[in-house]
Structure 1
């Protein structure tokens, strides 16, 4: 067909074992751990550059340990600490070293608050004396050791505290924290979700000062959720949630001086809406902050000198759409800094002087830098990951600070990621592709040469060799003037002379990617099950998705759901023209932004889509949070048509096919309000549909048998509404 510009297949296993593939994937196996992937958990490179630590879990003893391995031999050389040797700790779930690695923070009894935030009991373990110190009897957040390890700062009940590990004294440094009013040093809900960080405080280089962000949530509207639980009466969770166009937290930046016990408020200049990042420079008196306006199309990198009480602007990033916040800011010994930016149309690495003057653009080209790993001061070399080898692949590279001597350090086509030793002499490469489960190797950082294999998920490969596993085919499809990335999964006994129902999956959120040459996820096992039943499953990354340049990503600005939906409908129509696709049996499904998309596609594309499943969908961007929504849509007051013309809640009268709507009642992110309002609109339009609510389940809809129940429900819905003529299994 003309629409296929290129196509290649990735075969999951060698031909020699294909004859043994006769088992079929079951829903129970997807969720019971049958296909569990082995990983290296909590990997940390030791300061000596020759060893690394890993968090290991002993399933038989139900204990955890921090084990030290040698890079050269990959042999375990030491166990730093094991919970089996700690009478007061049954197990720990994470660990953090002090700068000199003489102390370790051990996390225990952690409980989730929202997506990233947790409360827990935390201990300081002294490696030399093997002593254990509980930081606080009460559960706390984000304990962080000072640079010399003699103090630990933490948050409790919306205030900041410091514990002196020498005197064991704990003292409070903020006093106005109140739930749903004032938060010190910990982000509010919308910052945590959309700027993706929780700890909003930071020690300076010599441990004499702590900078922190203060959130005044007083004027932020509250959202409430009923929690049904198991009691006679439900309870209610109430929290601050700024929806698009509503008041955000009033944020301010402060610096506490441990010597004077005084707190200074940082002058951030003109009114700013967001403090998206704070980070101390190598100079103990200079703090950096990334601040944004409400539209998020102007970002200032500020430097605040505590000794002079002076704020200066290091650089300004502006964009007609929005500016992405970078996590790659790296201050070098001379306080010059590394920065990543889309200023030339693609995400690249730049080097600036300590005064914010551009020294040079280090990477260039019509491709994106996707990760920044670090800078080797001695060799003047930067290490990064990019899509230079195609937007669905990832490779690791090195390049000199002056932009010369670029070296590709990974060779296998797929997704490569790196964890470098502290002295940048080695890196552990994590590689996978659609046919290869995660493989961990020790590589030379200078040449990329593989030194030794660490782990290759051989057991999983052996397990899967017994199953009917379909190839995942990658291709591009020409839609609306663009070559869009696509993958397809067909039945193993695919016969081009027959016709098959098609299920399309997508997410389509700004900057996202679903068509990636990486190891399969739980959803992919479900697609294998569907292929076994006789479905073809396909996924297309349309306009607005990531890693193909800023213009491609930002074309959807102010009109989320317009171009993305057009691309999915057009793709479905092209696929329907294939002789082996039954044009009368095409469906689409998605979760979150994908649920917003699948709903819109069914309503607006009712001439091609016969059914849709929407899980936890946004039904109107008016219901979603300020930071995410306004980044792409401005406020509803400024862009009412953009909000309303592309929201599924306003297109229910177009529904002709079969529709399944799913939500968790405890979703603090995309509130169940979205589904309830969509349900009411469908009812008033007299449209029949199916729906289900999972009590107290959050945006992920999991726990116990929940995922199994959900996917059983979705599978049955597909069989009933798309899979007629397919034998039921």
Structure 2
């Protein structure tokens, strides 16, 4: 295009003769001066970063670096004053607290040589059991190959059943005395009195997927005992109690395996859904010394002919075990003491509820002579409802009933009984007395008036307010685990002298990494929802300013009884968004969550997905009143039960702009019997409750929220195809309905992965979630008020 002459005439032509050299020189001096000032101001105002912190924002890659991992020394008492632990260098250390002496028992080079994944030392400290080629089965269970290693001669031999080579075992462990060994192969229990003796097969009824001896099926591992180990040694090592779980009538679930072979395979395992046949269970005790004899422990009369669970087994002497029996609806339980020599059981405590019973796998704490025991039970605290407190049950000489005395009270909960010191008449416990978000160790006298003392409240109050503890056998020392809010640490402390302590691990590499990286800060506030005051945790960028606008990510975690708002240390993929993307992360403990009393917890009885959803909406509505929350950038993420709530939220509110649901439950009749029936009751009596709780009936509301458009949210669905907890069936049903209503969604699959992803897949998912919400928040970003004003001025 040719310029017009009128345009050309606007430029003034200057001949060389008319230049003003003096003016040019002055201008140059001014420019140099201004540049110098700019350079100086940039230098002065640029924040000084620590060495090595050129890029001090947190990344997903950082989360998977060794320095960001939490090292757990797995410390345990092996005598009154000796602790065994594994240090950060990988050496197994024996530390004598009384003498302040340290001895290396096993060097890390041995672990490396044998490619060891797990280890355990024999009670006589002469042998080590090494597990290698470990493969996860469910949350707790795994298979592995094992070798026995002589610490002195370095001799090694494989642990195999008779006439079997290169066996893959379901479990292997030492007993409680000398070199006793137990292992489980093909659902049968094998026993060796020492490492050189022949194996004795204790059971022969084991059958894959049908009869489980000493090892849990999926239901018991995940929902009843939270452990795959269902056998228990008597203190003298002469008897072994174990469960025989019979899944003959339980329907099987199939987990497809798509990769690694020309044709897909499938794993079949018993999985009872709500209303379906449950496993039956027998509690047996085998005598290991002398002639092998097996004795069955008989359930109480009230449950003999009824479906029931065994939820607790604990030896209280060499011949007697405390056993808790729980009915299938989980609203009646019996605590009994059983004589293992004859199989008879005497009832010690009965619990019943119109709703459901909590803490049914807590172990009672018995005195040495068995005349006294301690439990946490719900105790009414005025208008605030019931809270779990310690009750002392003492054998009455006047009747068959126990005398009951409550040792603690208040609008807080005892979360764990640690130990009972009979000599000092003192009980040790962990509680939320200071705050529901904290855990401190306390002691209380079992005689006289209430005299409680906090033993950890004054310790490093900024970094350590969430403790767990393991008290030595003689009640003189304690292993203290500080779990947050700062980097976790483990130390030994003496009760006689609080100034005497020894740090086993303070996770110094993690502390250093956290000091270098700019991550976050947080606070906890209380919001009202109906008649409840609920804790809400907000995590902000370190350079947070109320004059800026931030995206909001609501993390919906856990199920009934869980806790999201606590002082326990956490660092996950959402921390990357806080550190790098001007995002605030929120977590709420609404109705149905734990550690705030039964009044809060049991609000969800027979109405999962209602009041807990209402509380999350109340939190969102409150957050959107804050001037620094960008209403156009609201995201939500949940996994498992949290993913179920995420979908229910999408049905109920239009506030959310993007959502990610990981392994969602969409129908509680498709989930595990023990979980669903605990909260809804049996399907035969409460089918309408199950129907109301389903994700999919309200199709119109779901369609309105999931139709992608200018006003609608993005939706990301995540699932492992081999998920044994929440089957892919749930997501398949959801997808079918999304297609039916014409809704758009993004699907992210993890082939052959379970509910708990492999490390590589965890990193991939973390990158995906950060990228997903980062893109979503950028797409919906809105200019700040100042920027809008500038645009108007232009």
Q: 2:609 aligns with which of 561, 578, 582?
A: 561
**Distance apart, 1:527 and its partner CA:** 4.1
Q: 2:432 aligns with which of 347, 362, 387?
A: 387
Q: In structure 2, how many angstroms separate the alpha carbons of the residues matched to 1:458 and 1:147?
A: 35
Structure 2 residue 149 is the aligned partner of structure 1 residue 120: no
Secondary structure of the structure 2 residue equivalent to 1:600: helix
Q: Give RMSD over aligned pairs.
A: 2.8
Contact kept? 2:647, 2:661, Cα under 8 Å: yes
Q: In structure 2, how many angstroms separate the alpha carbons of the residues matched to 1:130 and 1:356?
A: 56
**Distance apart, 1:359 and its partner CA:** 4.2
Q: 1:640 aligns with which of 667, 679, 687?
A: 687
Contact kept? 2:577, 2:770, Cα under 8 Å: no
Contact kept? 1:599, 1:613, Cα under 8 Å: no
Residues 175-212 of structure 1, C-alpha deviations (whole Å, 9 max, x = no match) = 11111221112111110011212222223344333222
Residue matched to 2:26: none
Structure number, greater radius of gyration: 2
Relative CO higher for 1 or 2, CA cutoff 8 Å, sep ≥ 6? 1
Q: 1:571 aligns with which of 603, 619, 631?
A: 619
Residue matched to 1:6: none
Residue matched to 1:79: 104
Secondary structure of the structure 2 residue equivalent to 1:342: strand
Q: In structure 2, how many angstroms separate the alpha carbons of the residues matched to 1:291 and 1:521?
A: 39
**Distance apart, 1:73 and its partner CA:** 7.5
Residue matched to 1:721: 776
Residues 127-160 of structure 1, C-alpha deviations (whole Å, 9 max, x = no match) = 6777656442523334344443353233211112
Q: In structure 1, how many angstroms separate the alpha carbons of the residues matched to 2:68 and 2:113?
A: 34
Contact kept? 1:31, 1:707, Cα under 8 Å: no
Secondary structure of the structure 2 residue equivalent to 1:637: helix
Structure 2 residue 398 is the aligned partner of structure 1 residue 350: no
Residue matched to 2:118: 93
Residue matched to 1:627: 674
**Distance apart, 1:451 and its partner CA:** 3.2
Residue matched to 1:227: 257
Residue matched to 2:743: 687
Contact kept? 2:68, 2:509, Cα under 8 Å: no
Contact kept? 2:551, 2:583, Cα under 8 Å: yes
Q: In structure 1, how many angstroms separate the alpha carbons of the residues matched to 2:675 and 2:698?
A: 23
Structure 2 residue 338 is the aligned partner of structure 1 residue 304: yes
Residues 649-704 of structure 1, C-alpha deviations (whole Å, 9 max, x = no match) = 33343132321111011111111111111111111122112121111111123332
Greater shift, 121-130 or 222-231, is seen at: 121-130
Secondary structure of the structure 2 residue equivalent to 1:441: strand
Structure 1 residues 725 and 685 mapped into 2: Cα distance closer, same or farther (>3 Å)? closer
Residue matched to 2:163: none
Structure 1 residues 610 and 325 mapped into 2: Cα distance closer, same or farther (>3 Å)? same
Residue matched to 2:722: 666
Residues 48-93 of structure 1, C-alpha deviations (whole Å, 9 max, x = no match) = x3331112464xxxxx542112336766x21223464699844352
Structure 1 residues 374 and 652 mapped into 2: Cα distance closer, same or farther (>3 Å)? farther
Contact kept? 1:636, 1:643, Cα under 8 Å: yes
Residues 457-514 of structure 1, C-alpha deviations (whole Å, 9 max, x = no match) = 3332332333222211221112222221111123344332333321111215111111
Residue matched to 1:250: 280
Residue matched to 1:3: none
Contact kept? 1:370, 1:386, Cα under 8 Å: yes
Structure 2 residue 35 is the aligned partner of structure 1 residue 25: no
Residue matched to 1:191: 220
Contact kept? 2:171, 2:183, Cα under 8 Å: yes
Residue matched to 1:611: 658
Structure 2 residue 363 is the aligned partner of structure 1 residue 337: no
Residue matched to 2:94: 68
Aligned 1:257-296 pairs, distance under 5 A: 257-258=287-288, 259-268=290-299, 269=301, 270=304, 271-282=306-317, 284-296=318-330
Q: In structure 2, how many angstroms separate the alpha carbons of the residues matched to 1:613 and 1:348?
A: 39
Q: In structure 2, how many angstroms separate the alpha carbons of the residues matched to 1:597 and 1:714?
A: 18
Structure 2 residue 65 is the aligned partner of structure 1 residue 41: no
Which structure features the higher share of helix residues? 2
Secondary structure of the structure 2 residue equivalent to 1:545: coil
Structure 1 residues 254 and 453 mapped into 2: Cα distance closer, same or farther (>3 Å)? closer
Q: 2:696 aligns with which of 629, 639, 649?
A: 649
Structure 1 residues 73 and 454 mapped into 2: Cα distance closer, same or farther (>3 Å)? farther
Residue matched to 1:211: 241
Q: In structure 2, how many angstroms separate the alpha carbons of the residues matched to 1:123 and 1:364?
A: 50
Q: 2:354 aligns with which of 311, 316, 320?
A: 320
Contact kept? 1:221, 1:240, Cα under 8 Å: yes
Secondary structure of the structure 1 residue equivalent to 2:604: coil
Q: 2:266 aligns with which of 236, 246, 254?
A: 236
Which structure features the higher share of strand residues? 1
Q: 1:371 aligns with which of 416, 419, 424?
A: 416
Greater shift, 133-142 or 290-299, is seen at: 133-142
Residue matched to 1:506: 556
Q: In structure 2, how many angstroms separate the alpha carbons of the residues matched to 1:205 and 1:509?
A: 36
Secondary structure of the structure 1 residue equivalent to 2:68: coil
Q: Which ranges in structure 2 are unaligned for 5 or more consecutive residues?
A: 1-46, 161-165, 381-385, 706-712, 784-794
Structure 1 residues 252 and 46 mapped into 2: Cα distance closer, same or farther (>3 Å)? closer
Q: 1:460 aligns with which of 486, 510, 519?
A: 510
TM-score (norm 1): 0.89
Secondary structure of the structure 2 residue equivalent to 1:489: strand
Residue matched to 2:467: 416
Secondary structure of the structure 2 residue equivalent to 1:459: helix
